[in-house]
Amino acid sequence: MASLLEKVQTLISANLHALIDRALEANSVAVLDEYIRQAERNLESLEDAAATVGGTVRTLKRKYEEYKAAADKLDRDIDTLLMKGKSELAAAAQADLNTKQQLAQEYYEQWQKQEAEYQRLLDARTKLEARLTAIKEEREHLIALMELAEAKAVTVETIKSLDDLQGIGDEDVRRLSEQIRSRLDREEARLEMESTSLQRQMDEILERDAIEAQLEERRRRLGLSGES
């Protein structure tokens, strides 16, 4: 049980920012998928363990209540026997009462111990479920952002969608959006440089064509159209 809770605690305390950063850096949600698989496996183990411990808690509580009720009845019976002068029967009942009270106390202590363990399991399950839900949501956001980044390499018009994405979700999403924005800005700058270079080349070609056209006109006027 301790090892299970240690594994779960490791998952719960995992830095989601670091996980998402790793996924973003690798341009893949594989690291998130592995976290989700581990979390789901441990969540299932937690639920099984919680069900087992929860059953034990119920059993121990029932046993405690049974012995407590029996001890209370014996306590009343002993008074009655003493009032009737049945000392030997009262002594036997007192011995039985001592045994039942001891058993009731032992069941009570076990019940409380298992109840505390049960609550720890339930608490761990709640926290792990919350973590699992969060990482699944971030996974979807990350996929959308990655798709947007890929689309940005084709067209700059998707920047509007990125602006919209920055307004949704929690801080993780906004931070990832900003990181993606930086990637897209770099891609845009690179595309802009490539476009500038292409335009410059086109301008140079057009300028050369214009000059050649002017020279050709001069050649025709001078009767030198066949000369270079």
CA distances from 63 to 69, 84, 94, 95, 96 (A): 10, 31, 20, 19, 16
Mean pLDDT, the chain, whole residue set: 76
| End-to-end Cα separation, the chain, in angstroms | 92
Write down the pTM of the prediction: 0.60
CB atoms within 10 A of CB 6: 9
Question: Residue 120's pLDDT is what?
Answer: 85
> Token pair of 117, please?
């363990």
Cα separation, 51 vs 7, whole angstroms: 18
CB atoms within 10 A of CB 181: 20
Spatial contact of 60 and 111, defined as CB atoms under 8 Å apart: yes
**Quick one: CA dihedral 70, 71, 76, 78, positive or negative?**
positive
pLDDT tens for the chain, 228 residues: list them.
668 888 888 888 777 777 777 877 777 889 889 999 999 999 999 999 999 999 999 999 999 999 999 999 999 999 999 999 989 999 999 999 999 999 999 999 999 999 988 988 888 888 888 878 878 877 887 787 777 666 544 333 333 333 444 544 445 445 556 765 564 455 445 434 543 443 454 455 556 667 777 777 777 777 775 554
At 67-116, the pLDDT tens digits run 999 999 999 999 999 999 989 999 999 999 999 999 999 999 999 999 98
